[in-house]
Structure 1
Amino acid sequence: MKSFVVKTIANAVALGVATWLLSDIELTGTSTGRKVLTLILVALVFGVVNFLVKPVVKLLSFPLFVLTLGLFTLVVNALMLLLTSWLAGRLDLSFHVDGFWTAVLGGLIISIVSWAVNMAMPDDKD
């Protein structure tokens, strides 16, 4: 359970950094508390998308992973971010990614920041 919370917080921080760095990833809200709550909810949606959809996409596109020596991961991460943006719109969350190339760069930023935050935060796997 603690691992789930740590990963959700790491994703929320990573999504926040991506919205801060890229103007085409929008997070609107009236107050800081509202924005933080939206980031946490979007991080939950992002986690569910990565848990349910990403393995299927990776399995179906395995030949492309081999052919590109793993660089196709950037495309898959971008697609997961775009799917999260679409689902956030359907759930009335104020989070939007505008365009594929923004999603590619955002996916790269989210991957790096999420990895760094996961390394810095304690995780009880003992």
Structure 2
Amino acid sequence: MTGGDIAGLIAAGVFAVLVALLAVPIWKLGKVFDELRASIRTVTDETTPLIEEVTSTVSTTHQQLKTVDGITSHVSDASANLSALSSLAAATLGAPLIKVAAFSYGVRSAFAGRQVPARRRRSR
């Protein structure tokens, strides 16, 4: 065996040790990727039903909001009708009631003026 052969064997041994030292981190990195793949699969499997449930909840909420919108529009219509009714009642009954009140005040004042003695009427 010559010196070149011995140097080749040493170089081959060093290379084998280097490959063995690099194989351990690569092996561990492979296990990390396996765990990452399993975690992603678990998250995907748990997220799909959650998204379906959220979609169902949003759909139900949308239906409820449509119902509330209908109720709100009916209440708005009813309040507008009540406002118109009160305006109509004020216009229809208000003016005659004011006239009756003024008439009764005038009659009362006239009767009150008759009951005052004549001397007092002149002094006023």
Per the normalisation by structure 1, the TM-score is 0.25
Q: Between the two structures, name the one with larger relative contact order (CA 8 Å, sep ≥ 6).
A: 1
When normalised by structure 2's length, the TM-score is 0.26
Larger radius of gyration: 2
**Which of the two has greater helix per residue?**
2
